Amino acid sequence: MDPIKTGKLIRALRMDLGLTQQQLAVRLHVGDKAVSKWERGAGCPDLSLLPALAEVLGVGLENLLAGELDANESTGGNMKRTKFYVCPDCGNIVTASAEAALSCCGRPLIALEPQKADLPHCLTIEPVENELFITSTHPMEKEHYIAFTALLRGDSLLLRRLYPEWDMQVRIPAAHGRLLWYCTRHGLFCQNI
Protein backbone atom coordinates (compact mmCIF):
# COMPACT_ATOMS: atom_id res chain seq x y z
CA MET A 1 0.00 0.00 0.00
CA ASP A 2 1.39 3.36 -1.04
CA PRO A 3 0.34 5.82 1.71
CA ILE A 4 0.39 8.82 -0.66
CA LYS A 5 -1.80 7.19 -3.33
CA THR A 6 -4.16 5.66 -0.78
CA GLY A 7 -4.40 8.97 1.08
CA LYS A 8 -5.28 10.86 -2.10
CA LEU A 9 -7.95 8.26 -2.91
CA ILE A 10 -9.43 8.42 0.60
CA ARG A 11 -9.61 12.22 0.37
CA ALA A 12 -11.17 12.21 -3.10
CA LEU A 13 -13.79 9.61 -2.15
CA ARG A 14 -14.58 11.35 1.13
CA MET A 15 -15.13 14.64 -0.70
CA ASP A 16 -17.26 12.94 -3.39
CA LEU A 17 -19.52 11.73 -0.57
CA GLY A 18 -19.66 15.23 0.91
CA LEU A 19 -18.17 14.09 4.22
CA THR A 20 -15.86 16.08 6.45
CA GLN A 21 -12.86 14.40 8.02
CA GLN A 22 -14.74 14.50 11.32
CA GLN A 23 -17.82 12.77 9.83
CA LEU A 24 -15.67 10.01 8.31
CA ALA A 25 -13.81 9.61 11.59
CA VAL A 26 -17.09 9.21 13.52
CA ARG A 27 -18.27 6.49 11.12
CA LEU A 28 -15.01 4.60 11.63
CA HIS A 29 -14.77 5.27 15.40
CA VAL A 30 -11.39 7.01 15.07
CA GLY A 31 -10.21 10.58 15.59
CA ASP A 32 -10.29 13.19 12.82
CA LYS A 33 -6.52 13.55 13.19
CA ALA A 34 -6.16 9.93 12.03
CA VAL A 35 -8.16 10.69 8.87
CA SER A 36 -6.04 13.79 8.26
CA LYS A 37 -2.88 11.72 8.69
CA TRP A 38 -4.07 9.13 6.14
CA GLU A 39 -5.07 11.77 3.60
CA ARG A 40 -1.69 13.50 3.85
CA GLY A 41 0.07 10.18 3.25
CA ALA A 42 1.77 10.41 6.66
CA GLY A 43 0.41 7.00 7.64
CA CYS A 44 -1.97 4.24 6.64
CA PRO A 45 -5.20 3.08 8.24
CA ASP A 46 -4.90 0.10 10.55
CA LEU A 47 -5.56 -3.19 8.76
CA SER A 48 -8.58 -3.84 10.98
CA LEU A 49 -10.18 -0.59 9.70
CA LEU A 50 -9.74 -1.27 5.98
CA PRO A 51 -12.97 -3.27 5.39
CA ALA A 52 -15.10 -0.65 7.16
CA LEU A 53 -13.28 2.20 5.41
CA ALA A 54 -13.82 0.56 2.00
CA GLU A 55 -17.51 0.09 2.79
CA VAL A 56 -18.04 3.68 3.96
CA LEU A 57 -16.23 5.03 0.88
CA GLY A 58 -18.09 2.65 -1.46
CA VAL A 59 -15.03 1.03 -3.04
CA GLY A 60 -13.51 -2.41 -3.15
CA LEU A 61 -10.80 -3.28 -0.68
CA GLU A 62 -8.43 -3.99 -3.57
CA ASN A 63 -8.94 -0.48 -4.94
CA LEU A 64 -8.34 1.06 -1.54
CA LEU A 65 -5.10 -0.88 -1.12
CA ALA A 66 -3.97 0.00 -4.65
CA GLY A 67 -4.84 3.67 -4.12
CA GLU A 68 -6.71 3.93 -7.41
CA LEU A 69 -10.01 3.09 -9.02
CA ASP A 70 -10.15 0.88 -12.08
CA ALA A 71 -11.86 2.76 -14.89
CA ASN A 72 -13.80 0.77 -17.47
CA GLU A 73 -13.32 1.48 -21.13
CA SER A 74 -16.35 3.26 -22.55
CA THR A 75 -18.68 0.89 -24.40
CA GLY A 76 -20.46 3.72 -26.17
CA GLY A 77 -23.75 2.44 -24.73
CA ASN A 78 -23.76 -0.69 -26.88
CA MET A 79 -25.87 -3.27 -25.02
CA LYS A 80 -24.47 -6.07 -27.19
CA ARG A 81 -21.40 -5.99 -24.94
CA THR A 82 -23.41 -6.67 -21.77
CA LYS A 83 -21.68 -8.95 -19.29
CA PHE A 84 -23.60 -11.66 -17.44
CA TYR A 85 -22.82 -12.92 -13.96
CA VAL A 86 -24.60 -15.83 -12.24
CA CYS A 87 -24.21 -16.66 -8.55
CA PRO A 88 -23.29 -20.34 -8.17
CA ASP A 89 -25.04 -20.47 -4.77
CA CYS A 90 -28.41 -18.75 -5.20
CA GLY A 91 -28.68 -18.47 -9.01
CA ASN A 92 -28.96 -14.65 -8.93
CA ILE A 93 -28.48 -13.15 -12.40
CA VAL A 94 -26.61 -9.85 -12.61
CA THR A 95 -25.85 -7.86 -15.77
CA ALA A 96 -23.47 -4.99 -16.37
CA SER A 97 -22.81 -2.98 -19.51
CA ALA A 98 -19.05 -3.33 -18.89
CA GLU A 99 -16.72 -5.33 -16.66
CA ALA A 100 -17.61 -4.93 -12.99
CA ALA A 101 -16.41 -6.20 -9.63
CA LEU A 102 -19.51 -7.94 -8.26
CA SER A 103 -20.23 -10.43 -5.52
CA CYS A 104 -23.20 -12.42 -4.30
CA CYS A 105 -23.60 -14.72 -1.29
CA GLY A 106 -20.16 -13.58 -0.15
CA ARG A 107 -18.41 -14.79 -3.30
CA PRO A 108 -16.91 -12.76 -6.13
CA LEU A 109 -18.69 -13.26 -9.45
CA ILE A 110 -16.86 -13.75 -12.73
CA ALA A 111 -18.29 -12.58 -16.04
CA LEU A 112 -19.52 -15.49 -18.14
CA GLU A 113 -17.93 -15.93 -21.55
CA PRO A 114 -20.48 -16.88 -24.22
CA GLN A 115 -19.64 -19.84 -26.42
CA LYS A 116 -21.15 -21.16 -29.65
CA ALA A 117 -23.79 -23.76 -28.94
CA ASP A 118 -23.01 -27.42 -29.44
CA LEU A 119 -25.78 -29.81 -30.60
CA PRO A 120 -27.31 -30.53 -27.16
CA HIS A 121 -27.57 -26.80 -26.47
CA CYS A 122 -28.96 -25.59 -29.81
CA LEU A 123 -32.24 -23.72 -29.79
CA THR A 124 -35.03 -23.91 -32.34
CA ILE A 125 -36.16 -20.47 -33.47
CA GLU A 126 -39.40 -20.09 -35.44
CA PRO A 127 -41.06 -16.84 -36.59
CA VAL A 128 -44.64 -16.49 -35.31
CA GLU A 129 -46.42 -13.28 -36.32
CA ASN A 130 -44.14 -10.42 -35.12
CA GLU A 131 -42.29 -12.60 -32.63
CA LEU A 132 -39.77 -15.38 -32.48
CA PHE A 133 -40.81 -18.59 -30.73
CA ILE A 134 -37.77 -20.23 -29.15
CA THR A 135 -37.79 -23.81 -27.93
CA SER A 136 -35.28 -26.47 -27.00
CA THR A 137 -35.16 -30.15 -26.14
CA HIS A 138 -32.64 -29.30 -23.42
CA PRO A 139 -33.44 -30.95 -20.06
CA MET A 140 -35.32 -28.71 -17.66
CA GLU A 141 -34.53 -30.58 -14.44
CA LYS A 142 -33.74 -29.13 -11.02
CA GLU A 143 -29.95 -29.58 -11.35
CA HIS A 144 -29.66 -29.03 -15.12
CA TYR A 145 -31.76 -26.51 -17.02
CA ILE A 146 -31.66 -23.32 -19.06
CA ALA A 147 -31.98 -20.53 -16.47
CA PHE A 148 -32.48 -17.57 -18.80
CA THR A 149 -32.49 -16.32 -22.36
CA ALA A 150 -31.49 -12.80 -23.32
CA LEU A 151 -31.77 -10.81 -26.52
CA LEU A 152 -29.14 -8.10 -26.84
CA ARG A 153 -29.54 -5.30 -29.33
CA GLY A 154 -27.51 -2.14 -29.66
CA ASP A 155 -29.91 -0.20 -27.43
CA SER A 156 -31.68 -2.81 -25.31
CA LEU A 157 -31.58 -6.02 -23.31
CA LEU A 158 -34.56 -8.34 -22.99
CA LEU A 159 -34.04 -11.05 -20.38
CA ARG A 160 -36.45 -13.93 -19.79
CA ARG A 161 -35.98 -15.99 -16.61
CA LEU A 162 -36.75 -19.71 -16.91
CA TYR A 163 -37.36 -22.33 -14.24
CA PRO A 164 -36.76 -26.08 -14.18
CA GLU A 165 -40.46 -26.86 -13.82
CA TRP A 166 -41.23 -25.15 -17.14
CA ASP A 167 -40.70 -26.31 -20.69
CA MET A 168 -38.02 -24.35 -22.53
CA GLN A 169 -40.33 -22.03 -24.52
CA VAL A 170 -39.83 -18.31 -24.95
CA ARG A 171 -41.43 -15.67 -27.16
CA ILE A 172 -39.46 -12.54 -27.94
CA PRO A 173 -40.00 -9.68 -30.39
CA ALA A 174 -38.73 -10.46 -33.88
CA ALA A 175 -35.54 -8.46 -34.08
CA HIS A 176 -31.93 -8.76 -35.12
CA GLY A 177 -29.47 -9.03 -32.30
CA ARG A 178 -27.50 -11.47 -30.23
CA LEU A 179 -29.37 -14.26 -28.46
CA LEU A 180 -27.80 -15.70 -25.31
CA TRP A 181 -28.94 -18.49 -23.00
CA TYR A 182 -27.49 -19.97 -19.84
CA CYS A 183 -27.29 -23.69 -19.03
CA THR A 184 -26.81 -24.22 -15.28
CA ARG A 185 -24.30 -26.99 -15.94
CA HIS A 186 -22.47 -25.92 -19.12
CA GLY A 187 -22.46 -22.13 -19.13
CA LEU A 188 -23.47 -19.29 -21.44
CA PHE A 189 -24.20 -19.86 -25.14
CA CYS A 190 -24.87 -17.40 -27.95
CA GLN A 191 -25.92 -17.00 -31.54
CA ASN A 192 -26.71 -14.07 -33.79
CA ILE A 193 -30.28 -13.78 -35.04
96 and 178 inside one domain: yes
Please provide the size of the chain in residues: 193
State the pLDDT confidence band at 74, using cuts at 50, 70 and 90: very low
Domain boundary among 66, 99, 117: 66
- pTM assigned to the model: 0.64
* pLDDT greater than 60 at residue 77: no
30 and 117 inside one domain: no
Mean pLDDT on 49-55: 90
110 and 187 inside one domain: yes
118 and 182 inside one domain: yes
